[in-house]
Amino acid sequence: MNYSKLSSATIQGIEAMKIDVEVDFDNRSVFNDIDVVGLGDTAVKESRKRVKSAILNSGFSLPHGKFVVNLAPGDVRKEGSMLDLPIALCILASTGIVKVNEDTLAVGELSLSGEVKRVSGILPVLLSLSEHFNGMVIIPKDNEEEAKCVKGLHVYAVRTLRECVEFLRGDISLKNIEYSGIRAIDPIQNIDFSDVRNHEMVKRAVEIAVAGFHNILMIGNPGSGKTMIAKRIPTIFPPMTEEEIIETSKVYSAAGYPGIIRNRPFRSPHHTASTVSIIGGGTSPKPGEISLAHNGVLFLDELPEFKRDVLEALRQPLEEHRVTVSRAKFTVTYPARFMLVGAMNPCPCGNLGDEKQPCVCSPRDILRYKKKISGPLLDRIDVVVNVPKLSFEEMMKKAEGEKSSRIRGRVIKARNIQRKRFKETDISFNSQMTHKMLRKYVQLDAESEEFLKRYVDRYGLSGRRIDKILKLSRTIADLENSEKIELKHLAEALQYRFRED
């Protein structure tokens, strides 16, 4: 009997776990067989067929006998095809073709021809290994870009199983992948806020929302420009930091998206999307849309048309900025710090308030339509703004609006103020302030406090709504570089309250 062992990894959520791949070869069997044990999913179990063909088509021979492949620890579920390469190397090592040990870690999928193909989750694997692994790491050539973003590892990329074996035997040399740094991309692309003519109040509301990372809901007739404005929101975000790029790229890597995410995500799922596709999870857990929007924007157009359970499932992630998916056999946590941008019509037909198109909805229909968005969800939306439909003359107006670069400059200044304010805390934005923090960072003068009291008495605002108004006032003051919150800041914040009357 011949025994071999090397290291590999598996993905759980967006985190990686190091595992051991062991092979025991029994040459007393007259059959040529590969048996895989160790709680693998379907892709892992099917690897024995891919591995066998890849070895033979790479020019190596398999002697008659039984190969038992063990993936340890045996009580941890292994998923995906990234274990093909380490299994093949261990099998070849058990027959004396190549030498491997626990200081060699390999991940990669094998084609039947022996090509090493790209796999999902390489970035989480390398980031996890960079903390404690000092050995050699072998990855597919197509995952090389992700490896360049991780420091402190000896990583080598291979194209084929044959090349990998020759490298391990010392027949050829490969260059260690070096860290090349992480740079964000300028958020300005082929769209710009200058394309949005008029709508000055809406653009002001969006600027405030981005500056303080507040959630926003736009209400307007079809064709009023809600979607156009929403798509331009990422262009006024500050460039991503290195930490944000790594965090976001980890999520995308685990979800199967290649490369490094260097720009703010903008996710816009259809209103027919299921709860699993939005929140994440499934039989083989994957990040949902709210996690793919991490550090960016989640745009829900036609918000009331989303299923009720989908909207209600958003409540906890909006508060905690993460989502935990629990099933019978696993529990995974995905990050979900996103800015929610919603858009809806004022009524089911969309024509309420339109001077040209009459509304055909009954008051009961309108009320039922608005009630599709529950009070608890509305409590998590700080800014609500009406988007009026423009006239022909306003749409044809030649003067362009303010460019995204200028708006972004003001947003960056306001965020720098917040970063300095909260440097001793675990939050970064005004929208994340707790009730206790509001007492410290939001001071109203006597006139402003009396004004707010009259407003609360008139409209019967809840404590949570009052906190939202104070957070919004703080952001508006930051945009004007004002340490004190003045009456004008409070009055502007009150404009963005959702009126159910």
CATH number of the domain to which 480 belongs: 1.10.8
Examine residue 319 and state whether it is found in any structural domain, yes or no: yes
Task: Assess whether 151 and 12 both reside in one domain.
Answer: yes
Examine residue 233 and state whether it is found in any structural domain, yes or no: yes
The 10s digit of each residue's pLDDT in 296-338 is 999 999 999 999 999 999 999 999 999 998 776 678 899 999 9
Domain count, the chain: 3
Examine residue 184 and state whether it is found in any structural domain, yes or no: no
The 10s digit of each residue's pLDDT in 456-497 is 998 888 888 899 999 999 999 999 999 999 999 999 999 987
Tokens 């292994």 belong to which residue? 78
Domain boundary among 425, 449, 472: 425
Angle at 481 between CA 476 and CA 487, to 5 degrees: 50
pLDDT at 75: 87
Examine residue 185 and state whether it is found in any structural domain, yes or no: no
Query: Hey, is 250 helix, strand or coil?
Result: helix
Give me the CATH number covering residue 9: 3.30.230.10
Task: Assess whether 414 and 447 both reside in one domain.
Answer: no
Task: Assess whether 165 and 224 both reside in one domain.
Answer: no
Structure tokens belonging to residue 240 = 């991503």
Structure tokens belonging to residue 66 = 């039984």
Distance CA 48, CA 32 (A): 12
Domain boundary among 407, 425, 443: 425
pTM of this prediction exceeds 0.75: yes
Task: Assess whether 136 and 203 both reside in one domain.
Answer: no
Distance CA 474, CA 482 (A): 9
pLDDT at 501: 39
Task: Assess whether 156 and 24 both reside in one domain.
Answer: yes
Q: What is the residue range of 411's domain? A: 193-425
Examine residue 114 and state whether it is found in any structural domain, yes or no: yes
Task: Assess whether 230 and 324 both reside in one domain.
Answer: yes
Task: Assess whether 226 and 290 both reside in one domain.
Answer: yes
Task: Assess whether 69 and 202 both reside in one domain.
Answer: no
Distance CA 413, CA 475 (A): 11
Distance CA 61, CA 12 (A): 34
Give me the CATH number covering residue 297: 3.40.50.300
Decide: 74 and 22 in contact? Cβ < 8 Å.
no
Q: What type of residue sits at position 223?
A: G
Examine residue 329 and state whether it is found in any structural domain, yes or no: yes
Task: Assess whether 277 and 315 both reside in one domain.
Answer: yes
Domain boundary among 425, 460, 480: 425
Task: Assess whether 340 and 409 both reside in one domain.
Answer: yes
Residue 369 belongs to what H/E stretch?
helix 363-371
Which residues of the chain fall short of a pLDDT of 50? 500-501
Lateral strand order in the sheet of 297-300: 266-267, 297-300, 339-344, 216-220, 383-387
Examine residue 188 and state whether it is found in any structural domain, yes or no: no
Examine residue 179 and state whether it is found in any structural domain, yes or no: no
Assign residue 152 a region: left if phi > 0, alpha if psi is -120 to 50, beta otherwise? left
Task: Assess whether 390 and 326 both reside in one domain.
Answer: yes
Task: Assess whether 304 and 447 both reside in one domain.
Answer: no
